[in-house]
Amino acid sequence: MTVAQVLLALELIGTFAFAVSGALLAAKKGFDIVGSLLLAGLAGLGGGVIRDLIVGQGVPTAFAAPLYLIPVAAAALAVFCHLIREDRLRRTLLVFDAVGLSLFCVMGSTIAYTAGLNPVAATLLGVITAVGGGALRDIVANEVPQIFNPDGVYAAPAFLGAAATTAALYWEVFDGFAAVAIALMVFIIRILALKLRWRVPLAVLGLPRKASGE
């Protein structure tokens, strides 16, 4: 497999993962199947579309290649047919979200850097690709986005992954193996952060953390 093939496979898996999080949120909110498809599409493809609009090289990939709609439809269908169950909703949603997060920060930085953006912008666009779809999903469903939940470490691992990807590209040591390794690192950090209840400092130093039922 070439790097391009590994990256495409990762992007489709990440799209499916985020799309599942969208379809599960639609189920939780009692939306219908059309709303489920829309929310799955926003979650799965929204981050990449924002990235492509900012990079500005023609029609966003999600629209140029109908292939990307397959994981979205598959995710909505899997939730519709109970293949991905609602009764373990919270945990399932978190794992799928973590898979998407780790794959998309790598993809986003790679695409932005390859398009000629500076390393700082490439890192930022990796983070935007990773958290943008989930943020759009939550904003459109009228929820406070998960990125802002202070009882979790969400954007920080995406930032690490995006920075590592950009560094690897800058020093020309990026390949399919590096992509998978960085994504795995981001996934492990995200899951460890959930299990071990890691916390990022609050927006104001020394302020007490509100009690919250994560």
How far is residue 23 from each of residues 112, 150, 191, 192, measured CA to CA in Å? Answer: 28, 24, 21, 25
Backbone angles phi, psi at 180, to 5 degrees: -65, -40
Residue 1 CB, nearest approach to a copy of itself (Å):
26
Stretch (H or E) spanning 9? helix 3-28
Tokens matching residue 22: 């969208």
Place of tokens 């399932």: 92
Place of tokens 């930085």: 109
Does 32 contact a copy of itself by CB under 8 A?
yes
Does 135 contact a copy of itself by CB under 8 A?
yes
How far is residue 143 from each of residues 27, 29, 121, measured CA to CA in Å? Answer: 14, 10, 28
Does 124 contact a copy of itself by CB under 8 A?
yes
Does 78 contact a copy of itself by CB under 8 A?
no
Which of 10, 2, 6 shows the shortest CA–CA distance to 129? 10
Residue among 60 and 176 whose Cβ is closer to a copy of itself:
60
Among residues 15, 21, 36, 166, the one that binds a copy of itself under rule CB under 8 A: 36
Does 70 contact a copy of itself by CB under 8 A?
no
Residue 26 CB, nearest approach to a copy of itself (Å):
4
Sites for a copy of itself among residues 41-60 (CB under 8 A): 49, 53-56, 58-60
Q: Which residues bind a copy of itself (CB under 8 A)?
A: 23, 26-27, 29-36, 38-39, 49, 53-56, 58-60, 63-64, 66, 69, 76, 79-82, 86, 117-118, 120-121, 124-125, 131, 135, 139-145, 147-148, 150, 154-156, 159, 199-207, 209-210
